[in-house]
A and B are shown apart, each in its own frame.
Chain A
């Protein structure tokens, strides 16, 4: 028996009125796999992450996490839309880092990292703080644990956001254009942290990125989205080295030209 994929999108569609953002997406991600999603804006790539995080509802299809449906649940052998308790149980396996950080501005870096472990996982404060201290150390911010987000640079805020997501011990980490809102000189420190947790943690990672160099060096697979479909996917060497599809070629050409 082959191992269950960590994540499976099965014929998933997303529409806003007449506009189809994702058209019957089929995508499997293996345990521990690092997948980068690239594509022009409006291609539906961010929507993939947002659906998996249940920030968007889906119109058709099923999303599976470790063999269990996320968006649905089994009732009398049939799949029915999931209730909140089911969604929250499956969602616990997923963490997300946002383009705009979305740190809680009224909480220190430490408080940001212990809020969910204490209220959702029911950890004791001492335990949660010990774990958060470890993670803040991992992202290189143990000195800044009592600072508020507004006292931190964009790169530092994003590293706190990564620590906050990791504190929930997710199996899957989603990164949604996490360096796009950063000044260029701060991009490196964030990518360095992602590289490191990719090495040290047994995490499945799905990231939307504009950093082609990072996607090429870091990921096991790259998916190129175009108009709500996966236009081309493959190992980074192939996709960047010898793209088969004309659209991929045009996109890469345009991006590398600009970069």
Chain B
């Protein structure tokens, strides 16, 4: 028989447990990406001479594979005295990688703020910090939430790469089950179905969010 249901039921709890690790990696990685990306985008505006440096940095990060960046942080950082466990190194790499993408999204959001908003802030003598916190960010973020959401989903789908440095997330767990039992069909298919389900649900959520935001801006 190609598909063994009793085997499926047996491995489901193990995979469910691993799924928690995948989701944790996703959430921590995304918080890192969203925060660092925002910092990059803000610094770029607040300190104009950094613009070129940040562009090059973003291009460098986006031009090289995440897998190699994961290896780099996991294997090269210890040579400089920074030893990280596999989960931390992997999540850090994912966070930095997606920060580069997120910073471009924020940048687009800031570019869409009308110049008059900056000018009114100057005329009211607001500090740069207050201008960002109270005027620019509250207007710039809502329209880009769907784009950030898409990156959250993309990031989630890259967490299987953590298996390359033996983080016990879904893919690694499925592989171990496979090599222990010589049955790959069920574990790997289940992992695929899990990602598919999560992606379809998130896509629907993002679409709903988009509609909600459109309605709000119509006000």
User: A and B, one complex?
Assistant: yes
Q: What are the residues of chain B within 8 A of A106 when measuring CB–CB?
A: 138-139
Secondary structure at the B interface, as helix, strand, loop or mixed, is helix
- Provide the bound-state CA to CA distance between A94 and B125, in Å: 9
Contact B123 A119 (CB under 8 A): no
Contact between A168 and B219, CB atoms less than 8 A apart:
no
Binds A, one of B83-91, B100-108, B126-134, B189-197: B126-134
A102 touches B119 (CB 8 A): yes
A104 contact set on B, CB distance < 8 A: 117, 120, 134-135, 139
B76 at the interface (CB under 8 A from A): no
The answer to the question of B81 belonging to the interface, with a C-beta cut-off of 8 Å to chain A, is no
The A-B contact count (CB < 8 A) is 61
A165 at the interface (CB under 8 A from B): yes
- Report if B122 contacts A (CB, 8 A): yes
| Cα A94 to Cα B119 with chains together (Å) | 13
Asked whether any CB of chain A lies closer than 8 Å to the CB of B1, the reply is no
A53 touches B122 (CB 8 A): yes
**Chain A proximity of B122: nearest CB distance (Å):** 6
**Quick check: A119 and B127 within 8 Å, CB to CB?**
yes
Q: How far is the CA of A66 from the CA of B207 in the complex (A)?
A: 56
Smallest CB gap from A120: residue in B:
B125
Say if the beta carbon of B65 comes within 8 Å of chain A: no
Size class of the A contact interface (CB-based, 8 Å): 20 to 34
CA distance A116 to B124 in the complex (A): 6
- Interface residue SS majority, chain A: loop
Q: Judging by beta carbons under 8 Å apart, are B124 and A115 in contact?
A: yes
Are B126 and A119 in contact, with the CB atoms below 8 A? yes
Query: Closest CB-CB distance, A112 to chain B, in whole Å?
Result: 9
Chain B: which residue is nearest A116 at the CB level? B124
Which chain A residues lie closer than 8 Å to B119 at the CB level?
53, 55, 98, 102
Tell me the smallest distance from the CB of A198 to a CB of chain B, in Å: 19
Residue of A53, A119, A150, A164 with most partner-chain B CB within 10 A: A119
A selection of 8 A-B contacts at a CB cut-off of 8 Å is: A91-B122, A116-B124, A116-B125, A116-B126, A119-B127, A120-B130, A151-B219, A165-B123
In the A-B complex, the 7 residue pairs with the closest CB atoms:
A102-B116, A102-B120, A116-B124, A96-B123, A119-B130, A106-B138, A120-B125
